[in-house]
Structure 1
Amino acid sequence: GRCLLMLEGHQASVSACTWSPDARRLLSGSNDKSLRVWDAESGRCLLTLEGHRAKVYACGWSPDGRRLLSGSGDKSLRLWDAENGRCLRTLEGHQAKVYACAWSPDGQRLLSGSNDNSLRVWDAENGHCLRTLEGHQDRVTACAWSLDGRRLLSGSRDNSLRVWDTESGRCLLVATLVGPGESATFDGDQQRVLWASAKAWRHLGWRVHDPAAGRLRILPAEFFGPLPTD
């Protein structure tokens, strides 16, 4: 539990952070509208990425570590070169703040979630919006891809999780939760979903396919309770 490094440089709260695929660098996004790339060993700031016109709420590395993705309160996403910090492309289409973003496992597509209650799937090369996913009744605060890229996961302030088919955009599953959360991801075996909020966490099990119902089926929560404090 010892603190190894303290990375300082942002001028406002840090709202997002993530590791590079090779674990040699870190990426952070801040309310100061910037992102920073850090050396994970020395803690030195390698790059400062500026261009967003509002708070940065989400960020991520491409699977090959060559590009960065960010989502902001200015309603846009930006793609960046991870080596020189140059903005490669601005993705626009959401009608409100972008709270979540994620790369597909093959690095060819992007996923974003917004305060406009929708998700969007984007082409990572040309920035075109490929699909808009609608169904949530409140802001989308979390999103993720399955490891095989065939399914999408979203979490919302409407107290629900949704699983979507990537190709058709069809909603496969809606799981109602006890409260809103801020983070959602698939478990390693892709049979469970991990969901976390500021006050609690939940581990949900679900079957890939229910032949009788012809759709995904949610299983009971394995555990639910306060977040660990130590």
Structure 2
Amino acid sequence: MNLSQEYNIEFGVPSWVRISPCQKYIACGTSTGYLYIISIEEKKILKFALIHTKGINDGVWSSDSKFIVTASDDKMACITETQELTVIRKLIGHRSKIFCVAISPDNSRIATGSKDTAFCIWDPRNSNSLSEIGGHTEPISSISFNYDGTLILTSSFDGIVRVWDSISLICLRTYIMEGHPITRSLFAPNSQFVTAFSTDNLGQLIEIKTGKVFRNFRGHVNSKYMVDAGYIHRNDNSDGELWVSSEDQKIHAWNVQSGEEIWQLDIGFDLAVANSTPDGSLFCVGGNIPGIVRLYTPK
């Protein structure tokens, strides 16, 4: 990949980055609670604001790119309007740090997962908590909706991945990863599989219906921290790609069909956060020495 743009983040270390669905902006949350908006077209930081009193752990854009939901160590999730970076809702109810957040494709529900081992479903229109579910025994490390919003995926340091019906909140499937803490889980684009990464340096592709492990992904380093991961499908004729941030200062990527590692991106700093567009046309990373955000494009 080619390094296209680089930005210095003044207030804190980048702890989360995400490219907007419209592919015009990058959002970056920091360890000090600041939220930055970067214009890809104008190649500059447009604005930044202090959103949380403690570090931001995760965040997500709405599907229309008009607002961002962030999750923080201050036990709150904030809904922020992106034009002026004005906080329009505060979601309060978790008893400890919020590690992860997701929003349904139609923007009607927000899901948050916390160190308190519970996940909550919220109505973004009024800040009300619709449900609180205690489906894990250790902190929840990641949470996501599938492509049509009918399923929710949670994973935890308890080594368990669960698939939930998003309306009834009944647990439909449970997968136990041999007791290793789960650092990231995500739905495959077709929602027939989930991928889970764990602290034994392993990624697994699991069929939702049967629980069968179809593929193992190895070569990256993941023994301590939560990681970022995503799927890329470059064109209709290509096999899908799966990438993950790694503790060896690299991004590793595999062919999903074969499990073969097909590329690496050497980023040169620790504790990287990362995100890509679904087609792989844009890839961004954030890191800590110094606080920077980089945007890459394919060669």
State the TM-score, normalized to the length of structure 2: 0.70
Q: Which residue of 1 aligns with 2:110?
A: 68
Q: 2:244 aligns with which of 187, 191, 195?
A: 195
Q: Which residue of 1 aligns with 2:72?
A: 30
1:132 aligns with 2:181: no
Q: Structure 1 residue 188: deviation in Å?
A: 2.7
Work out which structure has the larger RCO, using CA pairs closer than 8 Å and 6 or more positions apart in sequence: 2
Structure 1 unaligned spans of 5+:
208-216
Q: Structure 1 residue 3: deviation in Å?
A: 1.5
Q: Structure 1 residue 137: deviation in Å?
A: 4.4
- Aligned AA (2:157): N
Aligned residues: 221
Q: Structure 1 residue 172: deviation in Å?
A: 1.3
Partner-residue secondary structure (3-state), 1:10: coil
Q: Structure 1 residue 169: deviation in Å?
A: 2.1
How high is the sequence identity, in percent, across the aligned residues? 21
Work out the CA distance in 1 between the residues paired with 2:51 and 2:264: 38
Say whether the 8 Å CA contact 2:173–2:208 is kept in structure 1.
no
Q: Structure 1 residue 223: deviation in Å?
A: 2.2
Q: Which moved more, 1:6-15 or 1:197-206?
A: 197-206
Q: Which residue of 2 aligns with 1:211?
A: none
- Aligned AA (1:38): T
Work out the CA distance in 2 between the residues paired with 1:62 and 1:119: 19
Work out the CA distance in 2 between the residues paired with 1:7 and 1:132: 40
Q: Which residue of 1 aligns with 2:133?
A: 91
Q: Which residue of 1 aligns with 2:267?
A: 226
Say whether the 8 Å CA contact 2:55–2:74 is kept in structure 1.
yes
Change (3 A) 1:135 1:64: same
Partner-residue secondary structure (3-state), 2:90: strand
Q: Which residue of 1 aligns with 2:280?
A: none
Work out the CA distance in 1 between the residues paired with 2:180 and 2:92: 29
Q: Which residue of 2 aligns with 1:59?
A: 101
Segments ≥4 residues shifted beyond 3 Å: 227-230
Q: Which residue of 2 aligns with 1:116?
A: 158
Q: Which residue of 2 aligns with 1:149?
A: 191
Q: Which residue of 1 aligns with 2:256?
A: 206
Q: Structure 1 residue 34: deviation in Å?
A: 0.4
Q: 2:228 aligns with which of 162, 180, 183?
A: 183
Q: Structure 1 residue 187: deviation in Å?
A: 1.2
Change (3 A) 1:79 1:205: same
Q: Which moved more, 1:130-139 or 1:60-69?
A: 130-139
Partner-residue secondary structure (3-state), 1:59: strand
Work out the CA distance in 1 between the residues paired with 2:243 and 2:220: 14
Work out the CA distance in 2 between the residues paired with 1:53 and 1:177: 37
State the TM-score, normalized to the length of structure 1: 0.90
- Aligned AA (1:219): E
1:9 aligns with 2:51: yes
Report the aligned-residue RMSD: 1.7
Work out the CA distance in 2 between the residues paired with 1:142 and 1:171: 16
